[in-house]
Amino acid sequence: MKRFSLIEVAVLLNVLALSCGTSPDDAAVVVLPDARDTSSTNGSNDTGDEPEVISIPDTGTPGPGADTAVVPPVDTLETDVAPDSADPDVAEPAGCDVAPYPTDCACAQSSDCEDGYCLLTSAGKRCAEPCIESCPVGYACQNVAGAGADLALFCVERDIYLCMPCTKDQDCQTIGFSGLDRCVSRGEEGSFCGIACDAQNPCPLGYACETVTSVSGIDVAQCVPEDDTCECAPLHTTLSAATECAKTNLYGTCGGKRYCSAGGLTACDATTPLAELCNGKDENCNEVIDDIPQTTCAVPSEFGQCLGKVVCLGGQELCQGTPAAKDICDGQDNDCDGTVDETYPDIDSDGSADCIDADDDEDGLADEVDNCPTAANPAQDNHDTDIQGDACDNDDDGDGVLDATDCAPLSPYVYPFAKEVCDGLDNDCDGATDEKSCDDGKPCTDDVCDPVQGCLTTFNDAPCNDLNPCTIKDACNSGTCQGDFLACNDQNPCTDDSCDPLSGCKNTPNLLPCSDGSFCSVGDSCAGGVCLPGTAVVCDDGNACTQDQCDSASGCKTAPLGGTCDDGNACTSADVCVGGSCIGEFGSCGDGNPCTNDGCDPKTGCTNGPTDGGACSDNNSCTENDQCVNGECVGEEPSEGACQCQVDADCASQEDGNLCNGTLRCDTTSVPYECVLDPKTVVICEIPVGLHPACVTSQCSLSTGLCGTTVAPSGGACSDGNACTTADACNAGACVGVPTVCNDGTPCTLDSCTAASGCTYTPVSGTPVCNDGNACTVGDVCTAGKCTGPTAAPCNDLNACTADVCYPDVGCTHVATSTSCNDGSACTNFDQCVDKSCIGTPVVCTDGDPCNGLETCSPASGCQPGSSPDCDDGIDCTDDRCDDAEGCLHVPNSELCDDGEPCTVDTCVKVVGCTAVAGNDTVACDDGDGCTPTDACLSGTCVGSGTCADLGKLCAGGECVMLDNAPAPNVRFQSFGGVMKSNVVRLRVSGTPATGGKVGSGFTAILGGAPWVLPVWK
């Protein structure tokens, strides 16, 4: 069969395209000469004697069932999925030693092939054979798109992927047959590639055409092995083809893989499903860890035993359920004893506890509409109009305080512990009125209650706290708390100082220039809030005989050194350092030439000036009469024939014209002088530095004596001798390799490469930070090249209501439990875990003793008695006390009501206090007038009767007295000035004025408006 170039095929395709009609009857007919016998794909044989007649249909895509497939679907070359070289066991055809290669030769890329196409076959990548319609057995003529825009017909091997392990339909697509071949599942054994088939496209030997379902769910006819067994072809092994498989039993299904290896198709590596255990593993492969079978278990508690279920948490089987609780009246069997609410009262004995009975008091009214459901109250009397009827209401005013303990049972605004408001009432019964009722909670105001005007507020200047960490010296000003702004200067030049109203002072690191305080650095700058040294100061005094160093406190310092040096004098040698100075020894400048004057210049060194005249010897046996001439010893020409040459130029006539094999020089080492080859002039062409012998050649030109370099084409093989590169190839004369990236993916090795040995991975320990991939460890650190976590992750959240579990791939997990717990508060009981929190039922603190006041609960110690009620009713004549049963009692005590008036009857009345009523008529009394000697009570008033005269006495100063002219022996007189007013005798008793009464010893009665002298009686 004749081979066609890409251009010929393209022209042919264009002709065919132009000749297309609208039906198969209009197909173009092209006659092409046949160059060789080939078994066609339809089973016919060409003799080569007649031209082929090819019918090209106008439309349609070739495939199974098509009669003619001259224009198959366009596909692209496969260049990335096959190995670069052919199977070494396959003998190469002739002509496969020099590129471009003919058909069937191993190739790496399409440019390697004569026909420009390198396709994948079962023997590896091979140069494809062009075709029109027929190809060798097992191949099909298909339209293939190359790297450019050209299309070409080539023979494509049909079944290279047949029976290859696969996971998806795309794994089985052969070039030129895209979309026809499918990945067919064979259950737990895995999935394998088939190829499309029908009556016109039968299957290879050993395969049957069956309708199967591909892994993508499409029913399609495919070739499958008749013995249900697929073996790995060499190409499949090269491609490391693999498929997914599974193992199934009564416990479940576990997935795995099978792949083509050197030993054939491997067995399925899936694990065998096992019964699920509580161990943090998924034994039955259902992607759920520890889903153990559900079983019941006992949940004991102090109140009884309930049934729970066994659960697995953190690799341990735990009994999870609601424990038995103290029986409460809720229609439930709380303590799991088989009975409901058995300890609760049933007032009407109807079998239902009162808590769930519709009419507990049997008064004909359902509890839900009965204002007294526990006491019969058929009339529904309710004088305070609250929700509780009178039959069971012990709070008449509805203020929430029992009448027995309410200091004002008829006022809803006054009761113990009420909130004090500015209303002129003692709302909280503490004996004080309106105290703190106007406190607005602001420290900068003084609040006062005026029952008429209400709360009055004035500003103050007291100290306060404005809750701003950026201020100090806070004080009240015009009703607000104000402070002075705080300076946040930390005296650090490497921080920018500011203040955050939420968090206070902030000192943010900056990048400004700074000084680290050392004389040994310049250009210091801030980083991380500290001043870091800049460029180190170079201490160099230019003296090789001193050691220069820097002292951070003082700067550069020098110290003498020993050793060799250079004193800068060209006339000295063996210079050495002594005491910080360079000292050398003077030497001789004699050059051994008798024709020079020898001397020394300190700048340039030895001087040897030429001289003329004087005998010398030029050491040339071919000369005579030697003399100094301009610094050289020159002899006269020797006698004829004594030497072949005198100087190198004398040898020029003997050169052979080859400038590469060296030139002749005059050898004057012995007589006679002769022309000899100067080995130093032989041209040796070396490879230029940086170029590689395998990539260049270097030769000498005979005519010029110059070396010429020829660079080999780029891409040729070479070796740069460096184990740290790969894919070495010639490039512009140099051998260039791709640098090897030495990275083993672990931070616990030091990755490096040496040209001699290649990549090395040195284990390291300690400092490198790493991650061992286990979320259940912390403090991961490298140890001998491996990342290990030495410490278990602290998963304990200190929460009794969670089960703390750690999974290596997730880390700490805190699973909510529903067990009993202790919330640490004595104010709750029956504590139970709910949604990771310990929640208890609040304790109701009441001991029934009204004298304990309003009880409170302390989380630390439980119920606490309240403050004893203030039983003082403000009535002075009642005996106030608290009774354990009745609360505050106020017992009237009339003995405390004596008003000192004999003409009244004094009585203590509850709430009112002491009362005095007229009484005790005829009872003797004193009306306060000493001149009425007979006094008696009448209608509550002391009434006097009679006169002093009835007694034979004189009424003087409110007294009935008798006056004598002569003083008695026991009478003394005193003089005292006084004023007489209204005929009343005014007496002074211990300095206290009094009206009336009896004159006593030591006192003076003052009568009239002038001094009186009166007797004083004892």
- Is the distance from CB of 222 to CB of 213 less than 8 angstroms? no
Digit-coded pLDDT (tens) for 850-860: 888 888 889 98
Please tell me whether residues 84 and 46 are part of one structural domain: yes
- Residue whose entry in the numeric block shows the structure tokens 């009239």: 1008
pLDDT given for residue 668 in this prediction: 83
Containing structural domain, residue 716: 696-739
pLDDT at residue 144 greater than cutoff 90: no
Across 903-912, b (16+ Cβ under 10 Å) vs e yields: bbebebeeee
Which has the higher per-residue pLDDT, 760 or 992?
760
Please tell me whether residues 151 and 98 are part of one structural domain: yes
pLDDT given for residue 510 in this prediction: 92
| Domain stop point among 849, 868, 887 | 868
Please tell me whether residues 150 and 173 are part of one structural domain: no
Please tell me whether residues 338 and 452 are part of one structural domain: no
pLDDT at residue 974 greater than cutoff 70: no
Please tell me whether residues 12 and 148 are part of one structural domain: yes
Q: How many CB atoms lie within 10 A of CB 467?
A: 10
pLDDT at residue 68 greater than cutoff 60: no
Whether 112 is covered by a domain: the verdict is: yes
Q: What is the mean pLDDT of the chain?
A: 79
Q: Which of 398-402, 458-462, 545-549 has the lowest mean pLDDT?
A: 398-402
Whether 603 is covered by a domain: the verdict is: no
| Domain stop point among 846, 868, 890 | 868
Distance between CA atoms of residues 375 and 882, nearest Å: 28
In one-letter notation, the amino acid at residue 466 is D
pLDDT at residue 985 greater than cutoff 80: no
Digit-coded pLDDT (tens) for 692-743: 999 999 889 888 889 988 898 998 999 988 999 999 999 988 999 999 999 9
Please tell me whether residues 144 and 230 are part of one structural domain: no
Read off the tokens for 678: 């100067």
Please tell me whether residues 229 and 258 are part of one structural domain: yes
Mean pLDDT on 875-881: 88
Whether 605 is covered by a domain: the verdict is: no
- Greatest mean pLDDT range, 58-62, 493-497, 787-791: 493-497
Distance between CA atoms of residues 668 and 645, nearest Å: 8
pLDDT given for residue 150 in this prediction: 65
Query: What CA dihedral angle connects 919, 924, 926 and 930, to 10 degrees?
Result: 150
pLDDT at residue 24 greater than cutoff 80: no
pLDDT at residue 298 greater than cutoff 90: no
pLDDT given for residue 15 in this prediction: 33
Mean pLDDT on 360-372: 76
pLDDT at residue 632 greater than cutoff 70: yes
- Is the distance from CB of 781 to CB of 788 less than 8 angstroms? yes
pLDDT given for residue 88 in this prediction: 44
Please tell me whether residues 130 and 12 are part of one structural domain: yes
pLDDT given for residue 91 in this prediction: 66
In which band, very low, low, confident or very high, does the pLDDT at 112 lie, cut at 50, 70 and 90? very high
In which band, very low, low, confident or very high, does the pLDDT at 207 lie, cut at 50, 70 and 90? very high
pLDDT at residue 894 greater than cutoff 60: yes
pLDDT given for residue 90 in this prediction: 52
Digit-coded pLDDT (tens) for 922-936: 888 888 888 888 888
pLDDT at residue 28 greater than cutoff 70: no
Q: Which of 274-278, 622-626, 887-891, 944-948 has the lowest mean pLDDT?
A: 622-626
pLDDT given for residue 147 in this prediction: 52
Mean pLDDT on 363-375: 77
pLDDT at residue 61 greater than cutoff 50: no
Q: Which of 228-237, 265-274, 504-513, 992-1001 has the lowest mean pLDDT?
A: 992-1001
pLDDT given for residue 984 in this prediction: 31
Please tell me whether residues 7 and 128 are part of one structural domain: yes
Q: Kind and range of the H or E element at 558?
A: strand 555-560
In which band, very low, low, confident or very high, does the pLDDT at 295 lie, cut at 50, 70 and 90? confident
Digit-coded pLDDT (tens) for 801-854: 988 888 888 889 888 888 889 988 989 888 888 888 998 888 888 877 888 888
Residue 922 per-residue DSSP state: T
Please tell me whether residues 54 and 168 are part of one structural domain: no
Mean pLDDT on 336-357: 77
Alpha carbon distance, N-terminus to C-terminus of the chain:
178
pLDDT given for residue 245 in this prediction: 94
pLDDT at residue 440 greater than cutoff 60: yes
Whether 479 is covered by a domain: the verdict is: yes
Q: Kind and range of the H or E element at 15?
A: helix 6-18
pLDDT given for residue 708 in this prediction: 87
Distance between CA atoms of residues 96 and 99, nearest Å: 7
Whether 575 is covered by a domain: the verdict is: yes
Mean pLDDT on 675-699: 90
Digit-coded pLDDT (tens) for 509-542: 999 999 888 898 888 999 888 888 889 888 888 8
Whether 1003 is covered by a domain: the verdict is: yes
In which band, very low, low, confident or very high, does the pLDDT at 101 lie, cut at 50, 70 and 90? very high
Please tell me whether residues 143 and 250 are part of one structural domain: no
Extended strands (E) in 406-554: 445-450, 454-459, 471-477, 480-485, 495-500, 504-509, 521-522, 525-527, 530-532, 535-536, 546-551
pLDDT at residue 26 greater than cutoff 90: no
| Domain stop point among 777, 792, 807 | 792
pLDDT given for residue 195 in this prediction: 94
pLDDT given for residue 747 in this prediction: 86
Digit-coded pLDDT (tens) for 559-607: 888 888 988 888 888 888 988 889 888 888 888 888 988 889 888 889 8
Please tell me whether residues 144 and 245 are part of one structural domain: no
Distance between CA atoms of residues 105 and 83, nearest Å: 14
pLDDT at residue 646 greater than cutoff 90: no
CA-based R_g, the chain, Å: 64
User: Residue 128 to residues 18, 38, 420: CA-CA distances in angstroms?
Assistant: 27, 15, 106
pLDDT at residue 30 greater than cutoff 60: no
Q: Which of 78-92, 225-239, 260-274, 368-382 has the lowest mean pLDDT?
A: 78-92
User: What is residue 169's three-state secondary structure?
Assistant: helix
Whether 908 is covered by a domain: the verdict is: yes
**How many structural domains compose the chain?**
12
- Is the distance from CB of 799 to CB of 816 less than 8 angstroms? no
pTM attached to this predicted model: 0.32
Q: How many CB atoms lie within 10 A of CB 617?
A: 10
- Is the distance from CB of 884 to CB of 851 less than 8 angstroms? yes
In which band, very low, low, confident or very high, does the pLDDT at 272 lie, cut at 50, 70 and 90? very high
Whether 862 is covered by a domain: the verdict is: yes
